[in-house]
Chains A and B, each alone.
Chain A
Amino acid sequence: GQQVMQIPQYQHVQEGEDFTTYCNSSTTLSNIQWYKQRPGGHPVFLIQLVKSGEVKKQKRLTFQFGEAKKNSSLHITATQTTDVGTYFCAEIIQGAQKLVFGQGTRLTINP
């Protein structure tokens, strides 16, 4: 079935370094969403990308949707300890009214 592959599975950085997680699909994605889950918490919606080549920014976070709509990325500039958590991409399954989540990238930060 359809599944988005997310890499890396884990990433440890020094505070202030940049961080990027990638989401790849073998099929064309209609839309893609990104969520953040803090340790011990629940996932929180960050953004939805719809258009080919779309780039959206939220402060230090930059989200991109590939031109072919088969991949997406989340880039964090100058990480802070508040960025710690697991970042998930989620593929929207049109017609099935559900999301399929990637396995997530767990970000830890050394202060």
Chain B
Amino acid sequence: SQTIHQWPATLVQPVGSPLSLECTVEGTSNPNLYWYRQAAGRGLQLLFYSVGIGQISSEVPQNLSASRPQDRQFILSSKKLLLSDSGFYLCAWSVFAVGEQYFGPGTRLTVT
């Protein structure tokens, strides 16, 4: 069966520090991968998505970046965090581009 892992579960980082969040999927090949951010009590904002290794589509211009170094690995990064980067970061995968998405447990990031 397929599983999706995200770590860390929670993170507190000072403003200006770097960020690296990792997401890995097991049990499937060539998944579509997605990064979302959810502010407290709000909806899901798509940040990046990838349909293959090295292929990244950016939805929102900001100080975040994403990379897909391996087929089932998706990384979200920042060189310098802002207060506004606080939120719940969710990774998701799907088999088909327009199929159902399966979400990881998420990372709660607080920038102080």
- If A88-B44, A92-B98, A103-B42 touch, whether A98 touches B49 (CB-CB below 8 Å) is yes
- Give the interface SS of chain A, mostly helix, strand, loop or mixed: strand
A103 to B90 alpha-carbon distance, docked (Å): 16
Chain B contact-residue range equals: 20 to 34
- Total interface residues on A, CB under 8 Å, equals 21
Asked if B87 is an interface residue, CB under 8 A from chain A, the answer is no
How many residue pairs between the two chains, A and B, have CB atoms under 8 Å in the bound complex?
48
Name A43's contact: one of B49, B59, B99, B103 (CB within 8 Å). Answer: B103
> Which A residues lie at the B interface, using CB under 8 A?
30-31, 33, 41-45, 48, 88, 92, 94, 97-104, 106
Find chain B residues with CB under 8 A from A97 CB.
Answer: 32, 49, 51, 97-98
Find chain B residues with CB under 8 A from A43 CB.
Answer: 44, 90, 92, 101, 103
Q: List 30 A-B contacts (CB under 8 A).
A: A30-B98, A33-B101, A42-B103, A42-B105, A42-B106, A43-B44, A43-B90, A43-B92, A43-B101, A44-B103, A45-B100, A45-B101, A48-B99, A48-B100, A88-B43, A88-B44, A94-B98, A97-B32, A97-B51, A97-B98, A98-B34, A98-B46, A99-B46, A100-B46, A101-B43, A101-B44, A102-B43, A103-B42, A104-B42, A106-B41
